[in-house]
Every structure is written in C-alpha cells, then in structure tokens.
Amino acid sequence: MHDHHHHDHDHDNELDDMTARARALETILVEKGLVDPATVDAIIDTYEHKVGPRNGAAVVARAWTDPDFADWLRRDATAAIDSMGFSGRQGEHMVAVFNTPEQHNMVVCTLCSCYPWPVLGLPPTWYKSPAYRSRAVREPRAVLAEFGVSLPESTGIHVWDSTAEVRYLVIPERPEGSEGMDEQALAVLVTRDSMIGCGQPRRPDQP
C-alpha cells in the first residue's frame, strides 16, 4: 500500500504533531509569498493573548453576577456573547450549557475539532486528539477523573458534540467563597478547561 504520509524532510521532534504541521504550513505559505510572516504572528498573538480564554472568562463572570445575562445566554448565546463584542470566525453559532450539581457538561468534537476561537482562543493540543474525542464520548467520567475532575455518582455527565454549525461554551458553577467578588476578579478564576468542561474554575483561596 502506498504511504501517502511519507515525507522527505526531517521532522522537528520537539514539536507536537499539530504544531509541527501548522509550522510547516506556515513556512510553505510564507515561502510562496501568500502570507506575510508578520500577519501570521499577529493572528497567533491575537488568539493566544487578546481574544483567548479571557473573552470566555468575561462571559462566564457576567453570567455568574447577572441573572438577566445568564438567562439571555440560555436563550440565545450567540447574541448575548456578541453583545460583549466577542464574535467572529467560528463563533457565529454558540450554545451555552450550564453546569449544575445534577449535571456536568463536557464538550468534544468527534469529527473536525470545531472550537469557538473568539471566546476560548487556541484549542489545547489534546482537544484535537482522536483518543480524547473517542474516549470522552465513551467514558467521560474516567476522562474527567484523569483531568482531576472527580464528580459524585449522582452528577450526570452530558457530552456535547460540536459541529460545523454549533459550538458550545460550558458555564461552570461559581466556586464557593467567591461571594462579593466583582466580575473582573471572578474572571480570573475561570480557566479555559472549565469552559470546555474538562476542568473546574479556580477557588478564590488558590494561589
């Protein structure tokens, strides 16, 4: 059988597969004069630092402190998130799912690694791995335990499969001890993994 994946060049073994492929694609595009390297750097910086998980954290903090906004998120997350100025590529069709003591939500994309960049920034490497995608659907409780999220048996787990049309944002439960904190302080507690459902927010007493 012919190996379509054979390459003549050496791989950079210090890079994970996704990063290596992205680096190779970037090199080709720059070499062909199709992309300005400064533009590539600006785009990466934007998603890593400017729009990244801090946008999503701001949405979660608003939901924790503003019941009307939380209700709007439940009804029409796309519009509610857009009202905060966070929209754009891959963020057009958002659905917010709220964690409760009875149900924990977890997001996966079994087909194409769909991911809401405008509110979560760059996806973690493991999110794109076939092993994570298949195991999260098959044995979500075990996968969550490996991420350090141990849930009581009484808490159900709902795994949401993102599609090309719909992307999900998990609204984690507000941590205990955060009463009286303002939105800005609360947003610091929100982690990217908690908005995918593979982690929990930081507690206020955590460093």
Q: What residues does each domain of the chain span?
A: 17-48, 51-196
| pLDDT at residue 120, rounded to an integer | 84
Q: Which of 28-32, 95-99, 175-179 has the lowest mean pLDDT?
A: 28-32
Q: Is 135 left (phi over 0), alpha (psi -120 to 50) or beta?
A: alpha
- Cβ neighbors of 56 (< 8 A, separation 6 or more) are 86, 116, 119, 120, 121, 169, 190, 192, 195
In angstroms, the CA 143 to CA 132 distance is 8
Choosing from 87, 109, 162, 178, the catalytic residue is: 109
The predicted-structure confidence for 13-29, as pLDDT tens digits, reads as follows: 455 565 666 667 667 66
Choosing from 87, 114, 162, 178, the catalytic residue is: 114
| Topology, domain 51-196 | Nitrile Hydratase; Chain A (3.90.330)
The predicted-structure confidence for 137-160, as pLDDT tens digits, reads as follows: 999 999 999 999 999 999 999 999
pTM of the model: 0.75
| pLDDT at residue 138, rounded to an integer | 93
What is the C-alpha R_g of the chain? 19
* Average pLDDT of every residue of the chain: 82
Q: Is 109 a catalytic residue?
A: yes
Structure token digits, residue 164? 């090309």
Q: Is 198 a catalytic residue?
A: no
Q: Is 194 a catalytic residue?
A: no
